[in-house]
A and B are shown apart, each in its own frame.
Chain A
Protein backbone atom coordinates (compact mmCIF):
# COMPACT_ATOMS: atom_id res chain seq x y z
CA UNK A 1 0.00 0.00 0.00
CA UNK A 2 1.28 3.48 -0.84
CA UNK A 3 0.19 4.88 2.49
CA UNK A 4 -1.88 8.00 3.01
CA UNK A 5 -1.58 10.22 -0.03
CA UNK A 6 -2.07 13.95 0.19
CA UNK A 7 -2.15 16.46 -2.63
CA UNK A 8 -0.86 18.93 -3.41
CA UNK A 9 2.39 18.87 -1.42
CA UNK A 10 2.65 22.64 -1.66
CA UNK A 11 0.00 25.24 -2.37
CA UNK A 12 0.59 28.96 -2.71
CA UNK A 13 -2.46 31.12 -3.20
CA UNK A 14 -3.69 34.63 -2.72
CA UNK A 15 -5.99 35.78 0.01
CA UNK A 16 -9.62 35.30 -0.93
CA UNK A 17 -9.05 32.33 -3.19
CA UNK A 18 -10.59 28.91 -2.64
CA UNK A 19 -8.21 26.14 -1.61
CA UNK A 20 -8.94 22.43 -1.75
CA UNK A 21 -6.70 19.89 -0.06
CA UNK A 22 -7.06 16.22 -0.88
CA UNK A 23 -6.40 13.02 0.99
CA UNK A 24 -6.58 9.36 0.01
CA UNK A 25 -6.86 6.91 2.88
CA UNK A 26 -5.10 3.60 3.18
CA UNK A 27 -7.23 0.86 1.70
CA UNK A 28 -9.41 -0.73 4.35
CA UNK A 29 -9.11 2.10 6.84
CA UNK A 30 -12.34 3.66 8.01
CA UNK A 31 -11.33 6.68 10.11
CA UNK A 32 -9.91 9.90 8.72
CA UNK A 33 -8.43 12.82 10.65
CA UNK A 34 -7.46 16.31 9.46
CA UNK A 35 -4.79 18.09 11.52
CA UNK A 36 -3.22 21.52 11.09
CA UNK A 37 0.34 22.26 12.20
CA UNK A 38 1.70 25.73 12.89
CA UNK A 39 4.64 27.00 14.87
CA UNK A 40 2.39 28.92 17.21
CA UNK A 41 -0.30 26.33 17.90
CA UNK A 42 1.41 23.02 17.15
CA UNK A 43 -0.78 20.16 15.90
CA UNK A 44 -4.49 20.84 16.12
CA UNK A 45 -7.24 18.39 15.27
CA UNK A 46 -9.65 20.02 12.84
CA UNK A 47 -12.13 17.23 12.21
CA UNK A 48 -12.38 13.48 12.07
CA UNK A 49 -14.64 11.02 10.30
CA UNK A 50 -15.54 7.45 11.06
CA UNK A 51 -17.17 5.42 8.30
CA UNK A 52 -17.61 8.60 6.24
CA UNK A 53 -19.54 10.34 9.03
CA UNK A 54 -18.08 13.45 10.72
CA UNK A 55 -17.70 12.61 14.40
CA UNK A 56 -16.03 15.70 15.83
CA UNK A 57 -15.66 18.97 13.94
CA UNK A 58 -15.17 21.17 16.98
CA UNK A 59 -11.66 22.01 15.83
CA UNK A 60 -12.74 23.53 12.53
CA UNK A 61 -11.77 27.20 12.88
CA UNK A 62 -14.80 28.77 11.28
CA UNK A 63 -17.34 28.46 8.50
CA UNK A 64 -14.69 29.13 5.89
CA UNK A 65 -13.47 25.58 6.49
CA UNK A 66 -15.37 22.53 5.32
CA UNK A 67 -14.45 18.87 5.00
CA UNK A 68 -16.11 16.02 3.18
CA UNK A 69 -15.74 12.33 2.53
CA UNK A 70 -17.48 11.71 -0.78
CA UNK A 71 -16.50 8.05 -0.52
CA UNK A 72 -14.82 5.68 1.89
CA UNK A 73 -11.31 6.26 0.61
CA UNK A 74 -11.14 9.97 -0.15
CA UNK A 75 -11.53 13.26 1.68
CA UNK A 76 -11.27 16.95 0.88
CA UNK A 77 -10.65 19.94 3.11
CA UNK A 78 -11.79 23.20 1.56
CA UNK A 79 -11.04 26.74 2.66
CA UNK A 80 -13.16 29.46 1.08
CA UNK A 81 -12.16 32.25 1.18
CA UNK A 82 -8.59 31.67 2.31
CA UNK A 83 -6.76 34.10 4.58
CA UNK A 84 -3.05 34.55 5.41
CA UNK A 85 -3.61 33.15 8.90
CA UNK A 86 -4.62 29.84 7.32
CA UNK A 87 -1.01 29.31 6.26
CA UNK A 88 0.13 26.05 7.85
CA UNK A 89 0.91 22.43 7.10
CA UNK A 90 -2.24 20.37 6.85
CA UNK A 91 -1.99 16.67 7.58
CA UNK A 92 -4.50 13.95 7.12
CA UNK A 93 -4.22 10.64 8.88
CA UNK A 94 -6.11 7.40 8.54
CA UNK A 95 -6.82 4.66 11.01
CA UNK A 96 -8.00 1.09 10.68
CA UNK A 97 -10.91 -0.47 12.45
CA UNK A 98 -9.25 -2.99 14.73
CA UNK A 99 -9.66 -0.77 17.77
CA UNK A 100 -10.04 2.78 19.01
CA UNK A 101 -6.33 3.04 19.72
CA UNK A 102 -4.93 1.62 16.54
CA UNK A 103 -2.12 3.84 15.33
CA UNK A 104 -2.64 6.71 12.95
CA UNK A 105 -0.93 6.72 9.58
CA UNK A 106 -0.09 10.24 8.51
CA UNK A 107 0.33 11.62 5.04
CA UNK A 108 3.28 13.85 4.15
CA UNK A 109 1.18 16.96 4.52
CA UNK A 110 0.23 19.93 2.37
CA UNK A 111 2.21 23.11 2.97
CA UNK A 112 -0.28 25.95 2.42
CA UNK A 113 0.86 29.52 2.00
CA UNK A 114 -1.79 32.22 1.67
CA UNK A 115 -0.33 35.52 0.54
Chain B
Protein backbone atom coordinates (compact mmCIF):
# COMPACT_ATOMS: atom_id res chain seq x y z
CA UNK B 1 0.00 0.00 0.00
CA UNK B 2 1.13 3.53 -0.68
CA UNK B 3 1.49 6.36 1.81
CA UNK B 4 2.14 10.08 1.65
CA UNK B 5 3.99 12.24 4.16
CA UNK B 6 3.75 16.00 4.20
CA UNK B 7 6.49 17.11 6.50
CA UNK B 8 5.13 20.53 7.41
CA UNK B 9 1.68 21.04 8.86
CA UNK B 10 1.95 24.83 8.55
CA UNK B 11 4.13 27.11 6.46
CA UNK B 12 3.99 30.85 7.15
CA UNK B 13 5.52 33.03 4.45
CA UNK B 14 5.51 36.68 3.49
CA UNK B 15 3.86 37.86 0.30
CA UNK B 16 6.11 37.75 -2.79
CA UNK B 17 8.50 35.33 -1.10
CA UNK B 18 9.22 31.90 -2.59
CA UNK B 19 7.74 28.81 -0.98
CA UNK B 20 8.31 25.07 -1.06
CA UNK B 21 5.84 22.56 0.37
CA UNK B 22 7.37 19.17 0.92
CA UNK B 23 5.89 15.80 0.06
CA UNK B 24 7.37 12.33 0.27
CA UNK B 25 5.69 9.11 -0.70
CA UNK B 26 6.25 5.39 -0.37
CA UNK B 27 5.01 2.67 -2.65
CA UNK B 28 6.17 -0.68 -3.92
CA UNK B 29 4.83 -0.03 -7.42
CA UNK B 30 4.72 2.79 -9.94
CA UNK B 31 2.74 5.77 -8.77
CA UNK B 32 1.14 8.90 -10.07
CA UNK B 33 1.44 12.05 -7.99
CA UNK B 34 -0.86 15.00 -7.47
CA UNK B 35 -1.16 18.28 -5.61
CA UNK B 36 -4.60 19.55 -4.67
CA UNK B 37 -5.51 22.86 -3.01
CA UNK B 38 -8.40 23.49 -0.63
CA UNK B 39 -9.62 27.02 0.00
CA UNK B 40 -11.70 27.66 3.13
CA UNK B 41 -15.10 26.01 3.09
CA UNK B 42 -14.53 24.51 -0.35
CA UNK B 43 -13.70 21.16 -1.84
CA UNK B 44 -10.31 20.29 -3.24
CA UNK B 45 -9.11 21.45 -6.64
CA UNK B 46 -6.33 19.94 -8.72
CA UNK B 47 -3.18 22.07 -8.95
CA UNK B 48 -1.02 19.72 -10.97
CA UNK B 49 -0.18 16.09 -11.55
CA UNK B 50 2.73 13.92 -12.58
CA UNK B 51 2.01 10.81 -14.61
CA UNK B 52 5.17 10.31 -16.67
CA UNK B 53 7.69 12.17 -18.79
CA UNK B 54 9.34 15.38 -17.66
CA UNK B 55 9.91 15.39 -13.93
CA UNK B 56 9.13 19.11 -13.67
CA UNK B 57 5.41 19.67 -13.81
CA UNK B 58 3.76 23.05 -14.10
CA UNK B 59 0.30 23.66 -12.75
CA UNK B 60 -2.21 26.41 -12.28
CA UNK B 61 -1.65 29.66 -10.39
CA UNK B 62 2.11 29.62 -11.03
CA UNK B 63 2.82 26.47 -9.02
CA UNK B 64 5.20 23.75 -10.13
CA UNK B 65 6.43 20.49 -8.67
CA UNK B 66 9.37 18.24 -9.31
CA UNK B 67 9.23 14.46 -9.18
CA UNK B 68 12.36 12.92 -7.71
CA UNK B 69 12.21 9.16 -7.92
CA UNK B 70 15.44 8.50 -6.00
CA UNK B 71 14.27 10.61 -3.09
CA UNK B 72 10.61 9.58 -3.49
CA UNK B 73 9.63 13.22 -3.30
CA UNK B 74 7.24 15.52 -5.10
CA UNK B 75 7.78 18.98 -3.60
CA UNK B 76 5.56 21.88 -4.61
CA UNK B 77 7.08 25.29 -5.31
CA UNK B 78 6.10 28.79 -6.22
CA UNK B 79 8.68 31.56 -6.80
CA UNK B 80 6.48 34.38 -5.48
CA UNK B 81 3.34 33.84 -3.43
CA UNK B 82 0.26 36.04 -3.12
CA UNK B 83 -2.16 36.54 -0.28
CA UNK B 84 -4.71 34.61 -2.33
CA UNK B 85 -2.51 31.50 -2.16
CA UNK B 86 -3.44 31.10 1.50
CA UNK B 87 -5.03 27.66 1.63
CA UNK B 88 -4.45 24.04 2.56
CA UNK B 89 -2.37 22.01 0.13
CA UNK B 90 -2.60 18.26 -0.18
CA UNK B 91 -0.18 15.90 -1.84
CA UNK B 92 -1.73 12.68 -3.12
CA UNK B 93 -0.62 9.46 -4.75
CA UNK B 94 -2.32 6.75 -6.72
CA UNK B 95 -0.85 3.46 -7.77
CA UNK B 96 -0.70 2.71 -11.46
CA UNK B 97 -3.90 1.00 -12.48
CA UNK B 98 -5.96 2.28 -9.57
CA UNK B 99 -8.30 5.23 -9.43
CA UNK B 100 -8.32 5.91 -5.71
CA UNK B 101 -6.05 8.59 -4.28
CA UNK B 102 -4.26 8.48 -0.94
CA UNK B 103 -3.84 11.96 0.47
CA UNK B 104 -1.23 13.37 2.78
CA UNK B 105 -2.22 15.16 5.97
CA UNK B 106 -2.05 18.57 4.31
CA UNK B 107 0.08 21.70 4.69
CA UNK B 108 -1.53 24.99 5.59
CA UNK B 109 0.13 27.82 3.66
CA UNK B 110 -0.37 31.14 5.40
CA UNK B 111 0.74 34.12 3.30
CA UNK B 112 1.27 37.26 5.32
CA UNK B 113 1.41 40.84 3.97
Q: A-side interface residues toward B, CB under 8 Å?
A: 4, 31, 33, 35, 42-43, 45, 48, 50, 55-56, 91, 93, 95, 100-101, 103-109
Which residue of A4, A42, A45, A105 contacts B101 across the interface (Cβ within 8 Å)?
A45
Contacts of B34 in A (CB 8 A): 103
16 A-B pairs besides A55-B100, A106-B44 with CB distance below 8 A are: A4-B43, A31-B99, A35-B103, A42-B103, A43-B103, A43-B106, A45-B101, A91-B44, A93-B44, A100-B99, A101-B32, A101-B94, A104-B44, A104-B46, A105-B43, A109-B42
- Asked whether any CB of chain A lies closer than 8 Å to the CB of B90, the reply is yes
- Asked whether any CB of chain A lies closer than 8 Å to the CB of B69, the reply is no
Main secondary structure of the interface of B (DSSP, over half): loop
Number of A-B residue pairs with CB-CB distance less than 8 Å in the complex they form: 54
Q: Are A42 and B105 touching (Cβ within 8 A)? A: yes
Shortest beta-carbon distance, B33 to chain A, in Å? 10
* Contact-residue bracket for chain B: 20 to 34
Interface members, chain B 20-64 (any A CB < 8 Å) = 32, 34, 36, 41-46, 49, 51
Q: Are B100 and A48 touching (Cβ within 8 A)? A: yes
Q: Are B106 and A45 touching (Cβ within 8 A)? A: no
Which residue of B41, B51, B104 contacts A101 across the interface (Cβ within 8 Å)?
B51
Q: Are B90 and A43 touching (Cβ within 8 A)? A: yes
Shortest beta-carbon distance, A106 to chain B, in Å? 3
**Residues 92-113 of chain B: 1 if any A CB is under 8 Å from the residue's CB, otherwise 0?**
0010111111111110000000
Q: Report the bound CA distance from A106 to B99 in whole Å.
A: 15
Q: Report the bound CA distance from A4 to B91 in whole Å.
A: 21
